[in-house]
Amino acid sequence: MENFSLNSAKSYLGKNVNLHLKDGSVIVNVHLTNIKKNDAGKVALIEFTSSGRSNRTSLPLRFIAWAEQLNPNLLLTAN
Position 41 scores a pLDDT of 75
Determine whether domain 6-75 maps to CATH 2.70.98.
no
Q: What is the pTM of this model?
A: 0.82
Q: What is the DSSP string of 20-53?
A: EETTS-EEEEEEEEEEEE-TTS-SEEEEEEETT-
Position 4 scores a pLDDT of 83
SS3 category, 66: strand
Position 30 scores a pLDDT of 93
Question: If the chain, 79 residues long, is cut into consecutive pieces of 10 residues, what is the mean pLDDT of each piece?
Answer: 82 93 94 88 90 85 93 64
Number of CB atoms found within 10 A of residue 22's CB = 12
